[in-house]
């Protein structure tokens, strides 16, 4: 016998009855499930109607033009709300919590309220505190909940429900295990979908963690690192509304990856987001050439930050006497005065902003010198004039001429404060003075300056003494054009120089303005595949978020970049020191157990000290391997891909191979994605065909690359190994 749930519409189980014409237990359970689906369909219809009503109301309000700036700001907020409602069509409702006190809360992509003032929300936003038990309640810690229900929908139709009693009658180790495994078994489409209905507790803990400093999340393949990172963006923007005023920067490893995740944040209702790679952070600069791994490693070191700081400091003008012409007369600012003005102007300011501060001081100093010289001249004239008057008075009598009265500079030669301020304004607006200061303190171009610096061995030896003579020769010998490792150096130099009176860029939305402005300061930065960042790329991140409100997710064991970091402590030491928080994702949801069992020996050979994540699902398909000769490669790959595509019709198939095999395979396979291990980072397919695993392992950091390649599939892994001898028949 099984007890019936105390909930009126429960699906935890039904009581068995004798076969006397009454429904069997399984039939009764099916009836109960249909009833639950119908109940949730009715609620979904209600929520969808409310969403449409609110969207229609907002559309009417948005139809009227804004009359002033205040109304314009209000309309931008309404437009954001309207877009959020319009986008929340798929998965509007996906969960329900039944409290021990009888309360029922539905959880969805957005929050919805009824017209009744003070009423409970019709639908709770997944980011709201009230929704958290949906992700964290367990039978051991029910958090006031009696049951959790996962509601599966397709468009506007409820297609199923999965119930979890939270009273100790279930032993499932995953939240919403049925819904989660169903989602994981779905075909891959080449675009990432949201996972708000199936987030697990360790993922939710990271998503809702405080944004008070750098949070570094270690997670192996398939642990949901990217899902966590993107949902954390949505949560932070929802919880900290002021963060939307500054926008959030999402850094990914490649344009292909950014395309893969492109729909996730808009689907979650977030638009105050800028997505980029480290190579595309400078809007007007493009990588135009490749470079060797040794050079990429050299130019990724933190030493370049101090080297460039020293170089720019050496370009500041040296104090000397300045002779300025004003209204036909020359005036001198002594070297000591100029030195004091220089010291005051620099004080941590970028080169060009320091010049602007110095120019302002020169305007004041010159005005003071002009006023002082005028006063001295008037004093001399007054003394001579008084001598003449004295002689005239003596000869003509003192009573013939009455006393003169005057005010301001006419009275005693002294300029009033108002007159001195007017003089300063005239000096500041004078183009001749401006040209003089610019000639003495010239405008510098970051791109030209960096090109010259990197090509000059003497400068490199002077400002980067940590480099060996051989490394200096290698850097100076690089051809023209920008390589990937040059971008962080150019960014650092542009920051040290500062903008030259650049006006804020136009743009209606904050993300548009942030994207166009190099010096924009973001409210938060999220980095995916963070293990690939060099020390200089980390400096790029810090410049854009000096508050250090940063979330970085990655797997240090999947590092493929040229740097030699094998731990997170090594990777972030140069930027954060010890001031960062570590978190870990331990459960692999994507990669099936059959494939994860292959990764242990590979990680050992890669020198890893981490425990691989624990796979929670099995695809039931054992990885297979086929030995072929190099001459057979193209034909064998075409046939293997054809079979995989047939088996996983409606899903995706990807091919991973050593860099030396890519061109041949792309020609043979046409539209099928053929990538190196590094290019496949962050991606997933239903089936993966791995070409020449030994060749991948032989590449730089190859065991780490092979670890990546092995773990891209959600269902099936096939391997084509190369041998010089035809396989025995």
Name the binding residues for ATP.
219-226
Cα Rg of the chain, angstroms: 35
Q: To which H or E segment does residue 665 belong?
A: helix 662-669
Residue carrying the six token digits 């996906």: 94
Rounded to whole angstroms, how far apart are CA atoms 679 and 277?
13
- Long-range CB contact pairs, 573-580, < 8 A, 24+: 574/302, 574/535, 574/538, 574/539, 575/302, 575/535, 575/538, 575/539, 575/541, 575/542, 576/214, 576/548, 579/213, 579/214, 579/548, 580/213, 580/214, 580/215, 580/216
Report the length, in residues, of the chain.
729
- Residues annotated within a binding site: 219-226
Rounded to whole angstroms, how far apart are CA atoms 330 and 623?
86
Whole-number Cα distances in Å, 161 to 24, 79, 642: 21, 34, 36
Pairing of strands 587-588, 624-628: unpaired
15: Cβ contacts below 8 Å, ≥ 6 apart:
1, 2, 3, 4, 25
Sign of torsion over alpha carbons 494, 495, 500, 506: positive
The answer to whether 536 and 488 are in contact (CB under 8 A) is yes
The answer to whether 333 and 321 are in contact (CB under 8 A) is yes
The answer to whether 247 and 511 are in contact (CB under 8 A) is yes
The answer to whether 278 and 537 are in contact (CB under 8 A) is yes
Strand, coil or helix: 153: strand
For residue 51, the Cα-to-chain-centroid distance in whole angstroms is: 30
Task: Round to the nearest angstrom and report the end-to-end CA distance of the chain.
Answer: 59
Which structure tokens are listed for 344?
A: 């005051």
The answer to whether 236 and 250 are in contact (CB under 8 A) is no
Residue 501: Cβ within 10 Å count: 9
Query: Up-side HSE of residue 359: CA atoms within 13 Å toward CB?
Result: 23
506: Cβ contacts below 8 Å, ≥ 6 apart:
512, 513
Sign of torsion over alpha carbons 44, 50, 56, 59: negative
Q: Is 257 exposed, middle or buried (0-12, 13-18, 19+ CB in 10 A)?
A: buried
* Alpha helices (H) along 332-463: 335-346, 351-396, 409-412, 417-428, 431-440, 446-455, 457-463
Rounded to whole angstroms, how far apart are CA atoms 233 and 442?
42
For residue 119, the Cα-to-chain-centroid distance in whole angstroms is: 37
């Amino acid at each position: 016998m099984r007890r019936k749930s105390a909930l009126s519409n429960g699906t935890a189980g039904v009581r068995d009855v004798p076969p006397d014409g009454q429904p069997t237990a399984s039939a009764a359970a099916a009836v109960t499930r249909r009833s639950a689906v119908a109940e949730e369909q009715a609620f979904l219809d209600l929520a969808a109607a409310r969403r449409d009503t609110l969207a229609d109301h907002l559309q009417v309000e948005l139809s009227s033009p804004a009359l002033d700036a205040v109304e314009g700001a209000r309309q931008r907020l309404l437009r954001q709300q309207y877009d959020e409602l319009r986008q929340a069509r798929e998965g509007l409702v996906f969960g329900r919590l039944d409290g021990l006190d009888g309360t029922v809360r539905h959880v969805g992509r957005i929050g919805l309220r009824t017209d009744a003032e003070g009423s409970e929300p019709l639908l709770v936003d997944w980011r709201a505190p009230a929704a958290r038990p949906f992700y964290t309640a367990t039978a051991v810690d029910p958090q006031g909940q009696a049951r959790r229900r996962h509601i599966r929908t397709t468009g506007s139709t409820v297609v199923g429900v999965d119930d979890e009693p939270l009273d100790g009658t279930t032993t499932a180790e995953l939240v919403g295990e049925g819904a989660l495994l169903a989602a994981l078994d779905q075909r891959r489409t080449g675009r990432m979908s949201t996972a708000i209905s199936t987030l697990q507790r360790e993922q939710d803990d990271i998503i809702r963690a405080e944004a008070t400093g750098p949070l570094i999340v270690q997670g192996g393949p398939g642990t949901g690192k990217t899902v966590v990172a993107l949902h954390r963006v949505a949560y932070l923007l929802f919880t900290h509304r002021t963060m939307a005023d500054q926008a959030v920067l999402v850094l990914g490893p490649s344009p292909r990856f950014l395309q893969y995740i492109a729909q996730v944040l808009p689907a979650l209702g977030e638009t105050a987001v800028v997505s980029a790679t480290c190579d595309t952070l400078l809007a007007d600069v493009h990588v135009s050439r490749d470079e060797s791994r040794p050079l990429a490693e050299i130019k990724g070191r933190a030493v370049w930050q101090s080297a460039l700081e020293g170089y720019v400091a050496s370009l500041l003008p040296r104090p000397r006497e300045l002779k300025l012409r004003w209204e036909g007369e020359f005036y001198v600012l002594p070297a000591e005065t100029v030195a004091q003005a220089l010291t005051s102007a620099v004080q941590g300011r970028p080169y060009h902003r320091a010049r602007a501060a110095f120019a302002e001081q020169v305007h004041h100093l010159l005005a003071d010198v002009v006023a002082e010289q005028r006063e001295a001249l008037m004093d001399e004239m007054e003394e001579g004039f008084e001598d003449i008057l004295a002689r005239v008075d003596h000869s003509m009598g003192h009573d013939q001429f009455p006393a003169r009265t005057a005010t301001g500079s006419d009275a005693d030669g002294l300029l009033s404060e108002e007159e001195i301020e007017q003089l300063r304004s005239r000096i500041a607006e004078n183009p001749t003075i401006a040209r003089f200061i610019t000639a003495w303190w010239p405008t510098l171009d970051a791109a030209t300056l960096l090109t010259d610096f990197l090509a000059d061995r003497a400068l490199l030896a002077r400002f980067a003494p940590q480099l060996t003579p051989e490394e200096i020769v290698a850097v100076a010998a690089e051809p023209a054009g920008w390589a990937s490792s040059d971008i962080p150096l150019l960014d650092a130099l542009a920051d040290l120089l500062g903008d030259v009176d650049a006006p804020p860029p136009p743009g209606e939305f904050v993300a548009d303005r942030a994207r166009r402005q190099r010096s924009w300061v973001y409210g938060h930065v999220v980095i995916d595949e963070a293990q690939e960042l060099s020390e200089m790329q980390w400096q790029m991140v810090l410049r854009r978020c000096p508050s250090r409100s940063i979330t970085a997710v990655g797997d240090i064991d999947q590092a493929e970049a040229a740097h030699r970091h094998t731990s997170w402590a090594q990777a972030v030491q140069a930027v954060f020191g010890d001031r960062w928080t570590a978190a870990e994702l331990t459960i692999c949801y994507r990669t099936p157990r059959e494939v994860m069992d292959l990764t242990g020996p590979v990680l050992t050979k890669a020198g890893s000290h981490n425990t691989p994540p624990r796979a929670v699902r099995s695809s039931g398909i054992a990885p297979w391997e086929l030995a072929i000769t190099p001459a057979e490669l193209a034909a064998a790959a075409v046939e293997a891909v054809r079979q995989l595509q047939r088996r996983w019709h409606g899903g995706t198939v990807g091919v991973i191979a050593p860099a030396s095999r890519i061109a041949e395979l792309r020609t043979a396979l046409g539209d099928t994605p053929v990538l190196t291990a590094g290019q496949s980072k962050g991606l997933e397919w239903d089936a993966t065909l791995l070409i020449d695993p030994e060749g991948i392992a032989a590449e730089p950091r190859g065991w780490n690359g092979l670890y990546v390649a092995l773990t891209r599939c959600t269902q099936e892994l096939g391997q084509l190994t190369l041998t010089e001898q035809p396989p025995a028949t």
